[in-house]
């Protein structure tokens, strides 16, 4: 993946300082040299690179044509920054997440008693049911009551959820398989069709000493991750 233009152009301490000064107003090269405490030849060289990237523009002074003013093209910076964010992750583009296309997402953790169940419920809810969400575990155990309470506080009902072994989904096709704990990642089986695989390394809230708050933290982290996942699913 090519490095976006804005990052290539600005990823130098002196160029970043030049951009910062020019963001405040137009400057002559002599002024920039004094402000930055650098040699004029060095400042001119880096200004040239910023001009080549079309982040900085220049014009002759109307008072004295021997003088040149440099200005920052803030509108182009905004466009390139948006493109840089979108190149890293579609969720960094401005605006709400577009509607996701057809997707089948399987969340896995060891017990299928908290993290994966919460993720399944959150994705189904946040996608408005457009995404088929499932969950399972390598060693299933009953749904933890604090997971049910944490979801109830967010308007989601897990009281009827049942734990499922990942073998129940053997041979079924998914577009994405997401492991939520480090142990299940080590034993995650292959699924038909080579679904996109991702790992979210999250601690088991039932192993945390503070009880219910750990489940709320897990729910908050999952909600944040799923908000970005929706952008990924829409882009796919």
Output the pLDDT for position 73.
92
Q: 100 or 69, which is more confident?
A: 69
* Extended beta strands in the chain, E state: 27-28, 56-60, 68-72, 103-109, 131-137, 176-179, 196-199
Q: Which of 20, 46, 21 is nearest to 32 (CA)?
A: 21
Q: Which of 14, 43, 11, 39 is nearest to 27 (CA)?
A: 43
- Are the C-beta atoms of 199 and 185 separated by less than 8 Å? yes
Q: 228 or 99, which is more confident?
A: 228
For residue 214, name the pLDDT band (cuts at 50, 70, 90): very high
For residue 115, name the pLDDT band (cuts at 50, 70, 90): very high
> What would the two tokens of residue 108 be?
């896995």
Task: Work out the mean pLDDT of the chain and round it to a whole number.
Answer: 92
pTM: 0.77
Looking at the DSSP bridge assignments, the partners of residue 59 are 69
- Are the C-beta atoms of 99 and 108 separated by less than 8 Å? no
Mean pLDDT value of segment 178-185: 93
Which position has the token pair 């946040």? 126
Rounded to an integer, what is the distance from CA 1 to the centroid of its chain? 16
For residue 88, name the pLDDT band (cuts at 50, 70, 90): confident
Give percent of the chain above pLDDT 70: 99
For residue 84, name the pLDDT band (cuts at 50, 70, 90): confident
Mean pLDDT value of segment 218-233: 93
Residues annotated as part of the active site: 109, 181, 188
Whether residue 100 is predicted with pLDDT greater than 80 in this model: the reply is no
Give percent of the chain above pLDDT 90: 72
The region that residue 54 occupies, defined by phi over 0 for left and psi between -120 and 50 for alpha, beta otherwise, is left
Mean pLDDT value of segment 117-140: 95
Tell me the H-state helices in 12-73: 13-24, 29-36, 40-52
Output the pLDDT for position 86.
84
């Amino acid at each position: 993946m090519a490095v976006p233009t804005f990052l290539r152009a600005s990823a130098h301490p002196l160029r970043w300082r030049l951009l910062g000064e020019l963001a405040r107003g137009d400057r002559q090269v002599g002024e920039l040299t004094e402000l930055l405490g650098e040699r004029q030849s060095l400042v001119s060289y880096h200004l040239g690179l910023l001009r080549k990237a079309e982040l900085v523009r220049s014009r002759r002074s109307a008072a004295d044509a021997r003088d040149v003013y440099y200005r920052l093209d803030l509108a182009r910076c905004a466009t390139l920054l948006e493109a840089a964010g979108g190149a890293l992750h579609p969720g960094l583009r401005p605006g709400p997440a577009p509607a996701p296309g057809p997707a089948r997402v399987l969340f896995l953790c060891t017990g299928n008693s908290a993290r994966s169940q919460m993720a399944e419920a959150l994705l189904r809810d946040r996608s408005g049911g457009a995404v088929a969400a499932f969950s399972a575990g390598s060693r299933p155990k009953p749904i933890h009551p604090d997971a049910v309470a944490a979801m109830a506080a967010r308007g989601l009902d897990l009281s009827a959820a049942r734990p499922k072994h990942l073998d129940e989904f053997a041979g079924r096709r998914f577009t994405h398989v997401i492991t939520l704990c480090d142990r299940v990642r080590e034993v995650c089986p292959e699924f038909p069709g080579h679904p996109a695989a991702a790992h979210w390394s999250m601690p088991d809230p039932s192993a945390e000493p503070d009880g219910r708050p750990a489940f709320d933290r897990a729910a908050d982290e999952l909600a944040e991750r799923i908000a970005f996942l929706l952008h990924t699913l829409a882009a796919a």
